[in-house]
Amino acid sequence: MAIPITSFPRSPSNNQEVSIDGRKWVYKLSIPGWVCSQIGSGGVVFIASETAPSVNSYKAGDRWFNTSTGIEYVLINDGDDKYWVNVYTTPHSHSISNINGLQTILNLKTQFYYRTSPPSNPNIGDRWMDSVTGDEYIYVYDGSSYQWMQPTINPYFGSIKGNTVSVTTSSYSMISTDYYVGVNYAGIVTITLPESPDEGKMVVIKDESGNASGPSMYIEILPYDISDTIDNVSSAIIDIDNGVVDLIYRNGWRII
């Protein structure tokens, strides 16, 4: 039930208390205005203001809503001091609290991104997958700075899973996440292997057209870097219908 404003004194003094409708109200110049400090016996006080209320005027468990930022706080007492601590933060902001030397991450709004470049202003714990390389990163705080860290340095170790690509043109340059390339083109096709491959990187290239043995229908496979070789030669050729070449990188490309 709403309490009419006429129930309050017209010229209250600081810390003046009144009891209305079973509730205890205290007038605070620092807020300013009337604050419901008790509901029945005890209870939690809720304060709304642009500046932090004095911790000495409230008890542990009381809540403060910052009307300027929209962030809510709770008053805690660690036995020595009182602190206003964020209950939540707005999206894409950091929240690190240092209480008695213990750093606590208070922001639990994890975001997941799939894009070519790192997202701006991320939260701690956010995950980002590079849509070009397939590498995944997590945003961390190391005690002095915020940075993207890569939990798995080589996404290919322990797995050969990767992109599958259908080639219907006369040339294709593979990217680092490609694993299988299926060629279906009526003519000579040049496939360029990925740039700067990781040790153990595996790829498969296959003639899906079933016509690689025909006149001017072969598939030529070239390393990205001319200093690399394929089984110690400059290129490999698929000229057998439905032929396939499996390659692994170890000091150059090796056919397996």
Per-residue model confidence as pLDDT tens digits over 139-176: 887 777 788 887 755 444 444 456 889 999 999 999 98
The dihedral built from the CA positions of residue 80, 82, 87 and 88, taken in this order, carries a sign that is negative
User: Does 48 map to a domain?
Assistant: yes
User: Does 16 map to a domain?
Assistant: yes
User: Does 141 map to a domain?
Assistant: yes
**42, 58, 87 — which closes off a domain?**
87
Query: Both 21 and 75 in a single domain?
Result: yes
Please give the residue that has the higher pLDDT: either 69 or 55. 55
- 201, two tokens: 């990187």
CATH number at residue 196: 2.60.120
- For the beta carbon of residue 62, count every other beta carbon within 10 angstroms: 22
**69, 87, 105 — which closes off a domain?**
87
Query: Both 171 and 229 in a single domain?
Result: yes
Q: What is the pLDDT of residues 100-133, one digit of tens each?
A: 444 444 444 567 888 888 888 787 778 888 877 7
Residue 86 has pLDDT above 50, yes or no: yes
Residue 96 has pLDDT above 70, yes or no: no
Enter the DSSP assignment of 126: -
Query: Both 30 and 62 in a single domain?
Result: yes
Give residue 90's pLDDT band: very low, low, confident or very high (50, 70, 90).
Answer: very low
Query: Both 68 and 17 in a single domain?
Result: yes
- 44, two tokens: 């939690």
If you search the block for the tokens 């593979």, which residue do you land on? 174
Closest CA to 255 of 166, 164, 237: 237
The pLDDT mean for the chain works out to 77
Query: Both 99 and 82 in a single domain?
Result: no
Query: Both 127 and 177 in a single domain?
Result: no
User: Does 1 map to a domain?
Assistant: no
Closest CA to 84 of 119, 107, 117, 58: 58
**Domain that includes residue 116, residue range:** 90-153
Question: Is the Cβ–Cβ distance between 180 and 162 less than 8 Å?
Answer: yes
Report the percentage of the chain scoring pLDDT > 90.
27
Query: Both 168 and 250 in a single domain?
Result: yes
**55, 87, 119 — which closes off a domain?**
87
User: Does 39 map to a domain?
Assistant: yes
Residue 34 has pLDDT above 90, yes or no: no
- How far is Cα 172 from Cα 169, in angstroms, rounded to an integer? 7
Provide the pLDDT for residue 218.
96
Task: Average the pLDDT over 232-244 and give the result.
Answer: 94
- State the total domains in the chain: 3
Residue 193 has pLDDT above 90, yes or no: yes
Query: Both 77 and 114 in a single domain?
Result: no
Give residue 245's pLDDT band: very low, low, confident or very high (50, 70, 90).
Answer: very high
Sheet holding 46-49, edge to edge: 46-49, 63-66, 72-77, 82-86
Query: Both 177 and 237 in a single domain?
Result: yes
Provide the pLDDT for residue 102.
44
